[in-house]
Homo-oligomer: A and B are copies of this chain.
Amino acid sequence: MSTLKKVIWPQVILFGDSITQFAFQANGWGSEISHKLARKCDVVNRGLSGYNTRWAKLVLPRIVPISEAPIAAVTVFFGANDCALEDKNPAQHVPLQEFTENLKDIVKYLLSIGVSNDKIIFITPPPLQEAAWEKECLLKGSSLNRLNSVAGQYAQACVQAAGQSGLDVLDLWTLMQKDGQDFSVYLSDGLHLSDKGNQFVAEHLWTLLERRVTDLPFILPYWGDVDPKCPESSLLCD
């Protein structure tokens, strides 16, 4: 047994806040990506609800250490907490300039463990539907603690940081509001994704992910290619 060569599944790592942590809910964007990548990659959920980039960059080396499993792609999906208003939500708020620096530090760390920048995809926060999110805030005894226009500034900073680091970016904030469309359908509570929002993220992310995973081999032989008379010959070699 010990001489058998391990089959190592490459990883697609989803690093982000609650919108990533909840990505495996029914019809979630993480599930959809996982399904598409079955027998090619493990899709690893490293979403941390409520976290901003200040906290994310601290924990990243602890949760994405150097590993024998090659990293095929990493999504970096923050901003929804960083953009919280300083006066209403000082615990989660991160100033815009620091947000940009933190994103760059995240990239720097990923490069340091051998993840090349063509494997990193930034995702901006989605637009914020203020009326719906205000209801959530009121339920928790606070007033509206985020604004769509401010989320937009963080999205723009994310797009710029991606450009400066030579990364692809999925600019949800802009795409979901394109041509003045009603983006509320993409959100469940004004901030997190609805079914349609999950589908939107999955589809747009797939267009960016696909070329990064297209050359990955299908892991282990297709069952019809296994020699039924001598399955060892098909299954125990590379």
- A residues near B (Cβ < 8 Å) are 1, 4-7, 9, 21-22, 24-28, 30-32, 34-35, 38-39, 42, 44-45, 47-51, 54-55, 58-59, 61-63, 65, 81, 90-92, 109, 112, 220, 222-224, 226, 228, 231-232, 235-236
Contacts and interface: CB of A to CB of B under 8 A. Distances in A.
10 contacts: A1-B61, A1-B109, A22-B35, A22-B38, A24-B38, A26-B35, A42-B42, A48-B223, A58-B236, A91-B226
Number of copies: 2
A4 B228 CA distance: 49
A61 B232 CA distance: 13
B35 A232 contact: no
A21 B7 contact: no
Contact of A62 (B5, B32, B39, B224): B5
Contacts of A50: 222-224
Closest 4 A/B residue pairs (Cβ): A50-B223, A31-B31, A24-B34, A24-B35
A108 B143 CA distance: 58
A39 B21 contact: yes
Given A90-B228, A228-B90, A45 B34 contact: yes
A215 to B, nearest CB: 20
A7 B62 contact: yes
Contacts of A35: 22, 24-26, 28, 31
A44 B38 CA distance: 10
Contact of A4 (B1, B7, B62, B232): B62
Given A22-B35, A47-B38, A59 B228 contact: no
Given A26-B32, A38-B47, A42-B44, 17 more contacts: A1-B112, A9-B63, A22-B38, A26-B35, A27-B27, A39-B48, A42-B45, A48-B223, A49-B223, A54-B231, A55-B223, A55-B226, A55-B231, A62-B236, A63-B220, A90-B228, A92-B223
Contacts of A48: 39, 220, 223
B21 A61 contact: no
Contacts of A109: 1
A164 to B, nearest CB: 23
Contacts of A28: 31, 35
